[in-house]
Amino acid sequence: MSKYTFNSSTSSAVTGTKFNNASHVTDKSLLSDLNMIVSKQPITSVGIIPFTINNHTREIKYLMIQRKHSVGFVDFVRGKYILHNKMQIVSLLSVMTETEHLRLVNDDFGVVWREMWGGPEDSVAREKLEHLRKGVITNYNFYTLIDCIKEASIQQRWMYNDWGFPKGRKNFNETDMNCATREFSEETGISDTLLSVITNIVPYEEIFTGSNFKAYKHKYYLAYIENGQKTINLDGFQREEVGNMEWKTLNEALDCIRDYHVERKDILKKVELLIRNMKLFN
């Protein structure tokens, strides 16, 4: 991994950008009603926004990964929801694909669990899903998994899982930079020696509230890959968590990022502007 800097007279663009906006929850009273408390310290992941530039056309492309499973599906299979909290269940279901909905309704829990993590299944998570399939009675109403799926699908149905950039959480005593490059290599299967991280730009930050009502912060370093479209094997990604990996132009990237990720789209637009208005040098 080498280190690069940008040279520009526009110093304000080098300060990075911080975004603070909730993706799914905007009413604080909603969190109160659910007896949920948004942590003052969001769950932080650190990653890389990798880009390459075509030497002939000067076209900029970004290396993006598509998650194999939605965050909502992963949390659901792990049983990280409250059976008698319909709003929380619907929120998790709202970010899943139609295929994931069908799997929750029809597939044996053990099969889904082993496919995702292997090893013995979580009996509590199985019992919760089976209970929800049959139906839950609360003081207010009765609902099943199918009822919740129908409610979650009223406004939006997702055919494909979300796209984003390689990222993950830090190990003990690990620096942000080391975490970002390690997660990049682990998820993409690409050596971090091919990365030229831009060191004089403050990492971009995406802060939002997830479908599980928890606060998250994603920090992204910007990194250049020389001749990326020629040197990168797009089939070497980690199969357990990643479903696909592609080079995308700005417009292609914006089209595949879900609309509720407003901050992520804004970051990418600013990155594109930064690259086009500055010179990269060793």
- pLDDT tens figures, 208-249: 888 878 888 999 999 999 887 888 889 999 999 999 999 999
Length of the chain: 282
Using an 8 Å Cβ cutoff, are 199 and 282 in contact? Answer: no
Domain range holding 203?
2-68+162-281
Query: Do 75 and 64 belong together in one domain?
Result: no
DSSP state of 225: -
Residue 38 pLDDT exceeds 70: no
pLDDT score recorded for residue 109: 96
Whether residue 157 lies inside any domain: the answer is: no
Quick one: what percent of the chain has pLDDT higher than 90?
A: 68
Angle at 76 between CA 74 and CA 82, to 5 degrees: 145
Average pLDDT over every residue of 111-130: 93
> Among 93, 128, 152, which residue terminates a domain?
152
β-strands 2-7, 279-281: how paired? antiparallel
Instruction: Report the range of poorest mean pLDDT among 7-21, 34-48, 114-128, 139-153.
Output: 7-21
Residue 37 pLDDT exceeds 50: no
Count of domains in the chain? 2
Rounded to the nearest integer, the mean pLDDT of the chain is: 85
pTM of the complete model: 0.82
Q: Which residue has the tokens 């008698």?
A: 84
pLDDT score recorded for residue 232: 87
In angstroms, the CA 122 to CA 58 distance is 51
Whether residue 196 lies inside any domain: the answer is: yes
Using an 8 Å Cβ cutoff, are 208 and 216 in contact? Answer: yes
pLDDT score recorded for residue 280: 54
Q: Which residue has the tokens 């930079």?
A: 177
pLDDT level of residue 3 (50, 70, 90 thresholds)? low
